[in-house]
Amino acid sequence: MPICQGSHEMLSIVEGVHTGIGVDLGVLVGSGAERESDENLEDASNELILTDEEVVRFQIGEVFAHMPREEVDSRIENLKEVTSKNLEKLEEEKESVLAQMAGLKKILYGKFKDSINLEED
C-alpha cells in the first residue's frame, strides 16, 4: 500500500516518540530527579518536625550550612511548591503528548487497518 507524505510524517512522529527521538516520555512523567527531589524534600520536612534543634544543617548545592530551623522550614516549603508545580507541568505535557499520540494512532489505524503496528514492543 503506498504511503502518502502526510501519513509518513505521522508514522515518523509515532516512531520518534516510541524510540525517544522526538519526546522522552520518561522526562515528561517526571519519574527521575523531580520525583526523587519531591520525596527528599518531604523526608527532610518530616525530619525537621521531629528535631528539637534550633539550628540545623541544610544542604545548599554541595555544601551544608547551619541555619535556624524556621528558615530551613521556610526554604523546604518553597522548594516543595516549586517541585510540585514542575511535576504538575510535566504531567500536563505528558497527557498532551499521549493525547496527540492517540489521535495519530486513530488516524493511521483507520487508514492502514491491521497492516501496521504502532504499539511499543
**What domain range is 81 assigned to?**
5-94
Q: Return the C-alpha torsion angle 49, 45, 59, 77, nearest 10.
A: -120
| 61 secondary structure, DSSP code | T
> What is the tally of structural domains in the chain?
1
State residue 115's pLDDT score: 78
Domain membership of residue 115 (yes or no) is no
Tens digits of residue pLDDT in 48-88: 999 889 999 988 889 999 999 999 999 999 999 999 998 89
Instruction: Provide the sign of the torsion angle of the four alpha carbons 28, 47, 56, 78, taken in this order.
Output: positive
Give DSSP secondary structure letters for 15-41.
HHHHHTSS--HHHHHTTTHHHHHHHHH
Please name the amino acid found at residue 46. Answer: N
Confidence band, pLDDT 50/70/90 cuts, at residue 100:
confident
Task: Answer yes or no: is 106 within a domain.
Answer: no
Q: What is the CATH number of the domain that holds 38?
A: 1.10.287.370
Radius of gyration of the chain (CA): 23
What pLDDT, in 10s, does the model give residues 5-63?
666 666 677 666 655 544 555 555 555 677 888 888 999 999 999 988 999 998 888 99
pTM over 0.85: no
pLDDT in tens, 101-114: 888 888 888 888 87
